[in-house]
Amino acid sequence: MKEKITKRSTDFSRWYTDVILQAELADYSPVKGCMVIRPNGYAVWEKMQSILDRMFKETGHQNAYFPLFIPESFLKKEADHVEGFAPECAVVTYGGGKKLDENLYVRPTSETIMYAMYAKWIHSYRDLPLLINQWANVVRWELRTRLFLRTTEFLWQEGHTAHATYDEAEEETLKILEIYTEFYEKYMAVPVLRGLKTESEKFAGALRTYCVEAMMGDKKALQGGTSHNLGQNFSKVFDVKFQTREGKIDYVWQTSWGVSTRLIGALVMVHGDDNGLCLPPKMASNQAVVIPIWREEDEKPSVLEVANRLVRNLNKKVSVKLDDREHYTPGWKFYEWELKGIPLRIELGPKDIEKESVLFARRDTRDKFQVSWDELSYKTEQVLEEIQKNLFNRALKFREDNTFTIDDYNEFKERNNVEGGFFSVHWCGSPSCEEKIQKETKATIRLIPFEQQTKQGKCIYCNAASEHRVIIAKAY
Amino acid sequence: MKEKITKRSTDFSRWYTDVILQAELADYSPVKGCMVIRPNGYAVWEKMQSILDRMFKETGHQNAYFPLFIPESFLKKEADHVEGFAPECAVVTYGGGKKLDENLYVRPTSETIMYAMYAKWIHSYRDLPLLINQWANVVRWELRTRLFLRTTEFLWQEGHTAHATYDEAEEETLKILEIYTEFYEKYMAVPVLRGLKTESEKFAGALRTYCVEAMMGDKKALQGGTSHNLGQNFSKVFDVKFQTREGKIDYVWQTSWGVSTRLIGALVMVHGDDNGLCLPPKMASNQAVVIPIWREEDEKPSVLEVANRLVRNLNKKVSVKLDDREHYTPGWKFYEWELKGIPLRIELGPKDIEKESVLFARRDTRDKFQVSWDELSYKTEQVLEEIQKNLFNRALKFREDNTFTIDDYNEFKERNNVEGGFFSVHWCGSPSCEEKIQKETKATIRLIPFEQQTKQGKCIYCNAASEHRVIIAKAY
Question: Measured between alpha carbons, how far apart are the two ends of chain A, in Å?
Answer: 32
Q: Is A296 exposed, middle or buried (0-12, 13-18, 19+ CB in 10 A)?
A: exposed
CB A290 within 8 A of CB A348: yes
The pLDDT, as a whole number, for residue A452 is: 83
Which segment of A174-178, A381-385, B87-91, B229-233 scores lowest on mean pLDDT?
B87-91
Residue of B355, B138, B385 whose CA lies nearest to B281: B385
For position A109, what pLDDT does the model report?
94
CA neighbor of A43 nearest in space, from A235, A285, A389: A285
Does the beta-carbon distance from B141 to A104 stay under 8 Å?
no
pLDDT-based confidence at residue B4 (cuts at 50, 70, 90): confident
User: Is B71 in Cβ contact with A30 (below 8 Å)?
Assistant: yes
A83 and chain B: CB distance < 8 Å anywhere?
no
**pLDDT at residue B2, rounded to an integer:** 60
Query: 320-339 in B: which are within 8 Å (CB) of A?
Result: 327
> Can you tell me the mean pLDDT for B397-421?
97
State how far residue B398 is from chain A, nearest Cα, in angstroms: 33
Q: Is residue A338 scored above 70 in pLDDT? A: yes
Nearest CA-CA partner of B155 in B205, B107, B116: B107
| Portion of chain A with pLDDT greater than 70, in percent | 99
Domain A403-473 has CATH 3.30.110.30: yes
- Interchain contact B43–A (C-beta under 8 A): yes
At A76, the pLDDT band (50, 70, 90 cuts) reads: confident
B42–A31 CB contact, under 8 Å: no
User: What's the average model confidence in pLDDT over B138-154?
Assistant: 94
Interchain contact A143–B (C-beta under 8 A): yes
State whether residue B92 sits within 8 Å of chain A by CB.
yes
- A21 interfaces chain B, CB cutoff of 8 Å: no
Q: Does residue B154 surpass a pLDDT of 80?
A: yes
pLDDT tens for residues A125-156?
999 999 999 999 999 998 889 999 999 999 99
Interchain contact, B95 vs A93, CB within 8 Å? no
Domain boundaries, chain A: 12-271, 281-398, 403-473
Q: What is the pLDDT of residue A2?
A: 60
CA–CA separation, A53 vs A64, rounded Å? 12
By percentage, how much of chain A surpasses pLDDT 90? 93
Long-range residue pairs from B434-442, CB within 8 A, at least 24 positions apart, any chain: B434/B198, B434/B200, B435/B200, B436/B461, B437/B461, B437/B472, B440/B413, B441/B412, B441/B413, B441/B416, B441/B417, B441/B472, B442/B474
Find out whether B317 and B377 touch, Cβ atoms under 8 Å.
Answer: yes
Q: Is the pLDDT of residue A1 over 60?
A: no
B128 to chain A, any CB pair closer than 8 A? The answer is no
Which residue in the set B34, B91, B113 is minimally distant from A94, CB to CB? B91
Provide the residue type at A65 as one letter: Y
Q: Which of B37, B68, B104 sits opposite A64 (nearest CB)?
A: B37
Q: Is B79 on the interface with A (CB under 8 A)?
A: no
Q: What is the pLDDT of residues A291-315, one digit of tens each?
A: 999 999 999 999 999 999 999 999 9
Residue among B30, B42, B139 whose CB faces A63 most closely: B42
pLDDT, mean of residues B332-348? 97
pLDDT single digits (tens) B364-404: 999 999 999 999 999 999 999 999 999 999 999 999 999 99
* CB proximity A27 to B under 8 Å: yes
Indicate the helix (H) or strand (E) that contains A140.
none
Residue A97: which of B30, B38, B87 has the nearest Cβ?
B87
Flag if A35 and B67 touch (Cβ within 8 Å).
yes
Rounded to the nearest angstrom, the minimum Cα separation between A27 and chain B is 9
Residue A447 is which amino acid? L
Phi and psi angles of residue A307, each rounded to the nearest 5 degrees, phi first:
-60, -45
Helix intervals (H) in A37-165: 39-58, 72-75, 79-85, 111-121
Could you tell me the CA-to-CA distances from B252 to B115, B129, B422 in Å, in that order? 10, 9, 38
- pLDDT tens figures, A9-27: 999 999 999 999 999 999 9
Report how far apart, in Å, the C-alpha atoms of B235 and of each of A102, B60, B111, B166, B242 are: 38, 22, 10, 12, 10
Smallest CA-to-CA distance from B269 within B221, B226, B338 is with: B221
How confident is the model at residue A84, as a pLDDT? Answer: 80
Measured distance CA(A178)–CA(A195) in Å, rounded: 11
Residue of A nearest to B28 (CA): A117
| Cα separations in angstroms, A72 against A78, A100, B28, B91, B208 | 12, 11, 18, 15, 41
Write the pLDDT tens digit of every residue in B57-75: 999 999 999 999 999 999 8
Question: Best of B1, B91, B333 to disrupt the A interface by mutation (most A CBs within 10 Å)?
Answer: B91
Predicted confidence at residue B452, as pLDDT, reads 83
Q: Let me know the angle formed at the C-alpha of B127 by B124 and B129, rounded to the nearest 5 degrees.
A: 120
The DSSP bridge pattern shows strands A344-348 and A368-372 to be unpaired
d(CA B473, CA B450) in angstroms, rounded, equals 17
Taking an 8 Å cut-off on Cβ atoms, the answer to whether B68 and A139 are in contact is yes
Cα-Cα-Cα-Cα dihedral sign, residues A277, A16, B63, B118: negative
The type of residue at A475 is: A
Chain A CB contacts of B96 under 8 Å are 87-90, 141-143
User: CB of A108 within 8 A of CB of A89?
Assistant: yes
Q: Do A66 and B36 touch (CB under 8 A)?
A: yes
Q: Which of B25, B27, B36 should be substituted to probe chain A, the one whose Cβ sees the most A Cβ atoms within 10 Å?
A: B36
Minimal Cβ distance to A31: which of B45, B71, B97: B71
CB contact (8 A) between residue B93 and residue A93: yes
Say yes or no: domain A12-271 is CATH 3.40.50.12170. no
The closest alpha carbon to B131, from B220, B43, B240, B257, belongs to B257
Tell me whether strands A344-348 and A288-292 are parallel, antiparallel or unpaired: parallel
Residue B85 touches partner A, C-beta closer than 8 Å = no
Report the 10 Å Cβ neighbour count for A439: 8
CATH, domain range A281-398: 3.40.50.800
Q: What is the pLDDT of residue A80?
A: 78
Q: What pLDDT shows up at residue A182? A: 98
Please tell me the distance from the alpha carbon of residue B435 to that of residue A76, in angstroms, as a whole number.
Answer: 48
Q: What is the mean pLDDT of chain A?
A: 96
CA B462 to chain centre: 35
pLDDT for position A54: 98
| Three-point CA angle A464, A465, A468, nearest 5° | 125
Report the distance separating Cα B106 and Cα B109, nearest Å. 9
Q: What pLDDT sits at residue A126?
A: 92
Decide if pLDDT at B81 tops 80: no
pLDDT of residue A204: 86
Rounded to the nearest angstrom, the minimum Cα separation between A274 and chain B is 24
**Cβ proximity of B194 and B229 under 8 Å:** no
Alpha helix segments (H runs only) across B102-162 = 111-121
Rounded to an integer, the average pLDDT of A333-346 is 97
Tell me whether A48 touches chain B (CB under 8 Å). no
Alpha carbon of A342: minimum distance to chain B alpha carbons (Å): 17
Give the chain B residue whose CA is nearest to the CA of A151. Answer: B67
User: Is there a contact between B62 and A46 if contact means CB atoms under 8 Å apart?
Assistant: no
The whole-number average pLDDT for the span B19-30 is 97
pLDDT tens string B29-49? 999 899 999 999 999 999 999
Verify whether the Cβ–Cβ distance B68 to A92 is below 8 Å: no
Taking contacts as CB-CB distances below 8 angstroms, the residues of chain B near A35 are: 67
Instruction: Flag whether residue A319 sits within 8 Å of chain B, measured between CB atoms.
Output: no
Question: Which chain A residues touch B153 with a CB distance below 8 Å?
Answer: 67-69
| Cα of B64 to nearest chain A Cα, Å | 5
CATH of segment(s) B288-383: 3.40.50.800
Task: Say yes or no to pLDDT of A360 above 90.
Answer: yes
pLDDT in tens, A388-431: 999 999 999 999 999 999 999 999 999 999 999 999 999 999 99
Element of type H or E holding B341: none
Residue B1 in this model has a pLDDT that exceeds 80 = no
Stated pTM of the model: 0.96
**In chain B, which residues have their Cβ closer than 8 Å to the Cβ of A117?**
27, 29, 36
CB of A106 within 8 Å of a chain B CB? The answer is yes
Q: Is the pLDDT of residue B219 over 70?
A: yes
Among B25, B68, B128, the strongest candidate for a mutation testing the A interface, having the largest count of A CBs within 10 A, is B68
- Residues of chain A positioned with their CB less than 8 A from the CB of B41: 64
ipTM for the complex shown: 0.96
